[in-house]
Amino acid sequence: MSVPARDQESNPFEAMLSRFRVAAEKLGLEDGLFEILSRPDTEITVSIPVQLDSGGYQVFTGYRVQHNRAMGPAKGGIRFAPDVNIDEVRALAAWMTWKCAVVHVPFGGGKGGVICDPSKLSQREIEALTRRYTAALCDFIGPEQDVPAPDIGTNEQIMAWIMDTYSMHHGRTVTSCVTGKPLGLGGSLGRVAATGRGLMTILKVAAERFEIPLNNSKALVQGFGNVGGTAAQLLHEMGIKVVSVSDIHTAVYNENGLDIPALLEHTKATRSLVGAPNCDEVPRESQLELPCDFLIPAATENQINSKNAGRIQAKLIIEGANGPTTDNADRILEERGIHCVPDILANAGGVTVSYFEWVQDRLGYFWSEDLVNERQDEIMIRAFGEVADMAEKNNTNLRIGAYMLGIERVAHYTRLRGLYA
């Protein structure tokens, strides 16, 4: 598939393809399978007319990409953001394919997005947008086709509207058509904290593997939303000093460690880190270059790139966001001996517990939070060991090791299924 002319380093789909090519070559993947696995199965673009509170109308553009379904229904979030574009959605769908394969849950990769700014829309307008978008996709999503979930700009309320709209179109309640729902509508205990909790599980096993001591260590978290905030809280509880966190407004720093519970209370009250107590504000653009042992980028794509990778001081990077490190930056980090646990492994705790939610909905029987956490830890720890072993065996970094593991599994199931003709 051709990629539109633009800055190749910042193009997420091209970044995915670059890693895919390296991993496929190391695996000796057949040319035909290379062509199949490098392309999305289905791309859907929809127009979403919404009547605004002012009485006027606005037509939004929405996407849903289903990258691959060899292992099961497509799975992936929906983001509402002004900078959503088709290359981003393609890349995120492909990353979900490899992510699901790495943790070996029976899903393929999907992703959706709507070009909008939720902060400028009322609750009624967001509901109307969500329901019209869902109605347009009703023939393409569902428990055995494609199971959406929350992402940037969306939440459990929006998932509830998706579930209700889908159910109305099918004449029955279908809780398993979407995950990340409120508990009373078929959501799972442990889902909200799942991605952040998974990051901490991976951090601990990766630190042990690479002999990086946790005692007296320092961590830096970019992003202070659901993923970053949960990760920072769990790091704090582990006794690791979190010296810096950031949000879309500012970054804060305290070399002796931030009071994370106080910062969470501050942001709950003010919706921003601006004016947070007992810390200094620092430029967001230089936050990632502050001294630390562990760096968790949990914001958006392309945050670690060729411009700043040479100044990163962390010993270990655990990717909480999707695509936070560019291909060029990967090479720089590897040359400098900085280990990076890639997104398709590190933040897979979210899709793992989404899988648990889907299973519980289909069974109509729900698990305790302890059982959810126990099963999540088991899957994440096993997946890290398999990725690290793959990387070591093939003398490559963890990212290519993860891609190799994911591609190998999807290729295997594609061969078993064969091609319908």
Give the domain ranges of the chain. 40-175, 194-346
Q: What is the pTM of this model?
A: 0.94
- In this structure, is the dihedral angle defined by the CA atoms of residues 117, 120, 121 and 123, taken in order, positive or negative? positive
Looking at residue 421, its pLDDT comes to 77
- At 7, the pLDDT band (50, 70, 90 cuts) reads low
Give the Cα separation of 40 and 179 in Å (integer). Answer: 22
Looking at residue 10, its pLDDT comes to 80
Q: What is the DSSP letter of 31?
A: H
Give the Cα separation of 228 and 196 in Å (integer). Answer: 7
What is the dotted CATH code of the domain comprising 194-346?
3.40.50.720
Give the Cα separation of 150 and 181 in Å (integer). Answer: 9
| Nearest CA-CA partner of 91 in 118, 70, 110, 75 | 110
Q: List Cβ neighbours of 315 (8 Å cut-off, separation of 6 or more).
A: 210, 212, 293, 294, 338, 339
Give the Cα separation of 260 and 365 in Å (integer). Answer: 35
Q: What is the mean pLDDT of residues 364-383?
A: 98
Q: What is the mean pLDDT of residues 123-133?
A: 98
What is the dotted CATH code of the domain comprising 40-175?
3.40.50.10860
Q: List residues bridging with 79 in a β-sheet.
A: 113
> How many residues can be counted in the chain?
421
Q: At what angle do helices 398-417 and 12-27 cross, to 10 degrees?
A: 70
Please give the helix or strand (H or E) that residue 61 lies within, else none: strand 57-68
- At 392, the pLDDT band (50, 70, 90 cuts) reads very high
Question: CA torsion angle for 229, 234, 235, 240 (degrees, to 10)?
Answer: 140
| Nearest CA-CA partner of 209 in 391, 334, 349, 378 | 391
Q: What is the mean pLDDT of residues 331-341?
A: 96
CA distances from residue 8 to 81, 91, 260 in whole angstroms, order as listed: 22, 13, 37
User: Do residues 358 and 143 lie in contact, with contact meaning Cβ atoms separated by under 8 Å?
Assistant: yes
Q: What percent of the chain is predicted at pLDDT more than 90?
A: 95
Positions annotated as catalytic residues are 111
User: Do residues 345 and 402 lie in contact, with contact meaning Cβ atoms separated by under 8 Å?
Assistant: yes
Looking at residue 236, its pLDDT comes to 95
Q: What is the mean pLDDT of residues 376-394?
A: 98
pLDDT at residue 5 tops 50: no
Looking at residue 201, its pLDDT comes to 97
Say yes or no: do domains 40-175 and 194-346 share a fold.
yes
| Nearest CA-CA partner of 46 in 164, 156, 138 | 138
Query: Residue 112, by phi and psi: left (phi above 0), alpha (psi -120 to 50) or beta?
Result: beta
Phi, psi of 297 (to 5 degrees): -75, 115
Q: List residues bridging with 253 in a β-sheet.
A: 244, 280
CA distances from residue 140 to 42, 204, 243 in whole angstroms, order as listed: 10, 39, 45
Q: What is the DSSP letter of 227?
A: H
Q: What is the mean pLDDT of the chain?
A: 95
Q: What is the mean pLDDT of residues 179-194?
A: 96
Looking at residue 345, its pLDDT comes to 98
